[in-house]
Amino acid sequence: MSVKELEAEIMRLTPQDKAYLFDKLLHVLEIEEGPLTNEELDRRADDLRTGRVQGIPAEEMMASARRLL
């Protein structure tokens, strides 16, 4: 599943399910590295856009998210 496909699937979720998923993803980020600042989130997004870092395939991310649920 590509990131675009994942995004499309997320957009079909109910607002409550989107909020739940958002909360879970934020929780994972905070557990792994502590609370992230807006500046850090912007830097990471820029790193992905410019290719300085490579993202995790959507299938792996979804599998990880499902294990958390």
Closest CA to 67 of 37, 38, 14, 28: 28
The predicted structure's pLDDT at residue 34: 64
Q: Encoding tokens for residue 44?
A: 């990471």
Please name the helix (run of DSSP H) or strand (run of DSSP E) that holds residue 4, with its range, or none.
helix 3-11
Q: pLDDT over 90 for what percent of the chain?
A: 6
pLDDT of residue 33: 63
Q: Which residue in this structure is represented by tokens 């909020």?
A: 19
pTM for the full predicted model: 0.43
**How far is residue 16's CA from residue 2's CA, in Å, rounded to a whole number?**
23
